[in-house]
Structure 1
Amino acid sequence: MYVPPHFLQSDPAALHAAMDTIAFATLVSHGADGMLASHVPLLLDAARGAHGVLRGHLARANPQARQKPDQALAIFLGPEGYISPGWYASKREHGKVVPTWNYIAVHASGRLRWIEDGAELLGLVHDLTERHEAGQAQPWAVSDAPADFIAGMLRGIIGFELEITGLQGKWKLGQNRQPADIAGSVAGLRGQGADDLADAMEQASPMA
């Protein structure tokens, strides 16, 4: 990922927080069939390994699962959106402005370990369920479904762990713009309801 210095995010805590919050990634690998990609929810265990471990699962019918690559890249995309040059104060001053796209992205690469053991796979499904049901008024639990049904579902998936060996973050949030341009962009985004990206820009602003 191309990352100019002013957009670099290298704080491990910030990168872990982004991955945990986004929680959904594109898993990319390369093998005999060329480039493969799957879109999967992932759990981060930040305490394991040098940079953390990501856990998830794929359908056994997925070519990526059949291929079982040794290495993969997980791409997390956070708030993103179009930035109109019409929002910049500098447009009115000199007109030398162009459109851009702002976003948060995290790339986590590393070694894969495939999980086929039934007990470990069930534990992974429990953990994913608890993570994503936590905000529900009446959280669903794996134990709410018949045990034989869950056993059948587990036979259709394969789990994996990605031990992160490379971690890279890009916070492209207008840090290279003048304060008035950042303020104009934030106001423009809020006017379109893009509050997540506006909040991220304010937090990343050199004036914050």
Structure 2
Amino acid sequence: MRQNPSFTVTDVAELRRILDENPWMTLVSHGPDGLVASHYAVLLDDDHDDLTVVGHVGKPDDAIHGLGQHELLVIAQGPHGYISPQWYLPGPNVPTWNYVAVHLSGIPEILTPDENLRVLERLVARFESALPQPRLMWQPPNDEEFVRRLERGTVGFRLTPTKVVAKRKLSQNKPDATVDEVIVQLEAGSPYADPRLAGEMRRAHETLRAARDAQVRLNGPGEVSPAPSPRPVEEL
């Protein structure tokens, strides 16, 4: 994922929020037969306060990925959507796609059966908790033999990334008026956008504007603010 300083995310707390809110992730590695990708739910490791994540794969995906032996890329995809040039100020413009994505890479650690079981319990609890009547992993009709058999059919992993690439492309290269109009259009509903995208844009731009206002106050009246950085070229 090509980086651009205007779109880069480095704040650990913000990255953890993105990972926590988007647990359905893509796992990519280079196996004996070339590139392979799998899709699994992945969670932040609750024993760490960094970007360490835990998850599992079903057998034989562990062998296909060379889990624990080779580098693994874990991709979290946040809110994203198509942005029409009709929503921009008058003039020549091109359509684009706004998105949030985080790439974590490193060689994962294989979990013990007990650690893997705890991850499986957390995964079930995480997603069942939003239902009216949650059914946890150990609840009947599941019994211990059934749960242990499930665990033996999976391989758990913990990844403490050695490389993190995170990007939040949310119209930071557009004037405030255009950003506000894009948010309005997204909130009105779009067939090609995650409904959360407008909120993600609003969150990002409130932070940007607060930082800009703080810089103006710091400079004081009558002082010239530093020249803004050149705006990045729109990415399709």
Q: Report the TM-score when normalising by structure 2.
A: 0.79
Aligned to 1:201: 201
Cα distance in 2, alignment partners of residues 103 and 189 from structure 1:
13
Matched, 1:109 2:105: yes
Task: Report the counterpart of residue 56 of structure 1 in structure 2.
Answer: 55
Residue 98 of structure 1 is matched in structure 2 by 94
Indicate the larger mover: 136-145 or 15-24. Answer: 136-145
**Aligned-residue offset at 1:12:** 0.8
Specify the alignment match of 2:180 in structure 1: 183
* Secondary structure of the structure 1 residue equivalent to 2:173: coil
Could you tell me whether the CA contact under 8 Å between 1:8 and 1:169 is conserved in 2?
Answer: yes
- Report the structure, 1 or 2, having the larger strand content: 1
SS of 1:9's partner is coil
2:122 aligned with 1:123, yes or no? no
User: Percent identity among equivalent residues?
Assistant: 36
Contact 2:71–2:107, Cα closer than 8 Å, also in 1: yes
Residue identity opposite 1:161 in structure 2? R
Contact 1:36–1:64 (8 Å) recurs in 2: no
The runs of 4+ residues in structure 1 deviating greater than 3 Å are 63-66
* Aligned residue pairs, count: 202
Aligned to 2:131, the other structure's residue is in SS state coil
Q: What residue identity is the alignment partner of 2:107?
A: R
How far residue 110 of structure 1 moved from its aligned partner, in angstroms, is 1.5
Report the structure number with the largest CA radius of gyration.
Answer: 2
Query: What's 2:214 paired with?
Result: none
| Cα distance between partner residues in 1 of 2:14 and 2:114 | 33
Give the conservation status (yes or no) of the 8 Å contact 1:40–1:56.
Answer: yes
| Distance verdict in 2 for CA 1:102–1:191, change over 3 Å | same
Paired position in structure 1 for 2:138 = 143
Q: Distance in 2 between matches of 1:179 and 1:31?
A: 46
Could you say if the C-alpha distance between residues 120 and 65 of structure 1 is closer, same or farther in structure 2, counting changes exceeding 3 Å? farther
* Aligned equivalents of 2:129, 2:170: Cα separation in 1: 30
Q: Is the 2:36–2:65 Cα contact (8 Å) retained in structure 1?
A: no
Alignment partners' CA distance in 1, 2:203 and 2:163: 25
Closer/same/farther in 2, CA of residues 47 and 148 from structure 1, 3 Å limit: closer
After superposition, what is the alpha-carbon deviation per residue over 1:155-199, rounded to whole angstroms, capped at 9, x for unaligned?
A: 221111111222221110001001111111111111115541111
2:42 corresponds to 1:42: yes
Q: CA deviation at 1:75?
A: 0.5
Change (3 A) 1:52 1:203: closer
Given that 1:104 and 1:171 are in contact with CA atoms closer than 8 Å, whether structure 2 keeps it comes out as yes
CA offset at residue 64 of structure 1?
Answer: 4.9
- Residue number among 144, 157, 161 corresponding to 1:160 in the alignment: 157
Change (3 A) 1:65 1:111: same
Distance 2:134 2:162 in 1: 34
What's the CA shift for 1:100? 0.3
Q: Would the aligned equivalents of 2:30 and 2:65 in 1 still touch at CA under 8 Å?
A: no
Alignment correspondent of 1:82 = 82
